[in-house]
Amino acid sequence: MSEHFPPNHPVLPQQKVGVLLLNLGTPDGTDYWSVRRYLKEFLSDPRVIETNKLIWWPILNFVILSFRPQKSGHAYAQIWDKEKNESPLRVITREQTQSLAERLRGEDIMVEFAMRYGNPSTRSVLEKMQAAGCQRILLVPLYPQYSATTTATANDKAFDALRTMRWQPAVRTAPAYFDDPHYIETLGNSIREGIAKLDFEPDVVITSYHGMPVDYLKKGDPYYCQCHKTTRLLRDYLGWPEEKLLVTFQSRFGPTEWLQPYTDKTLEALPGKGVKKVAILAPAFSADCIETLEEIAMGGKDSFMAAGGEKFAYIPCLNASTPGMDYIEAMVRRELGGWV
3-state secondary structure at position 202: coil
Sheet holding 245-250, edge to edge: 245-250, 204-210, 277-281, 311-314
Would the annotation count 112 as a binding residue?
Answer: no
Q: Is 7 exposed, middle or buried (0-12, 13-18, 19+ CB in 10 A)?
A: exposed
Which amino acid is located at 281 in the chain?
L
**Nearest one of 172, 157, 164, 170 to 114, comparing CA atoms:** 157
DSSP states along 234-271 = HHHHHT--GGGEEEEEE---SSS-BSSSBHHHHHHHGG
The answer to whether residues 313 and 278 touch, using CB atoms and an 8 Å cutoff, is yes
**Helices 181-196 and 223-238 sit at what angle, rounded to 10 degrees?**
60
Distances (CA, A) of 268 to 165, 244, 251, 306, 325: 51, 17, 15, 8, 34
Distance of CA 191 to the CA centre of its chain: 19
- Please tell me whether 210 is known to bind a ligand: yes
- Name 333's Cβ contacts closer than 8 Å, sequence gap at least 6: 340
Annotated binding site: 210, 291
Annotated binding site for Fe(2+): 210, 291
